[in-house]
Amino acid sequence: MSAAASASPMKRVPRVKGPVSPTSDMPSLASPAVRRAAEKQLDREAIARLAYSYWAARGYTGGSAEEDWLRAENDLRSN
C-alpha cells in the first residue's frame, strides 16, 4: 500500500435501512400547494401562439420577440 493511500482512509457512510418516510416539513407531491403551482404553470405552446399573434397583428414587422413573449405570459396569467 502506498503512503498516500494509507494517509487518507475511506470513511464509512451509514446505510439507511427500510423506507424513508417524509417529514412534516416536506410537501407531498399530491399536496394542494403543489397541485396549484402546477396548474399555474403556463403552457409554453399557448404563450408562443399568443406571442406570434401579436407579431402577426403588427404585420410581421417591428417589435421584439422577447417583449411579445413577456406580454403573452402576463396576459395569460391575468386570465
SS3 track for 22-55: CCCCCCCCCCHHHHHHHHHCCCHHHHHHHHHHHH
Distances (CA, A) of 11 to 1, 14, 17, 75: 17, 10, 19, 55
| Assigned C-alpha cell, 13 | 457512510
pLDDT values of the chain reduced to their tens digit, one per residue, 79 residues: 555 555 556 667 666 565 555 555 555 566 777 766 666 667 899 999 999 999 999 999 999 999 999 999 999 988 7
| Assigned C-alpha cell, 69 | 413573449
> Three-state SS for 73?
helix
pTM: 0.49
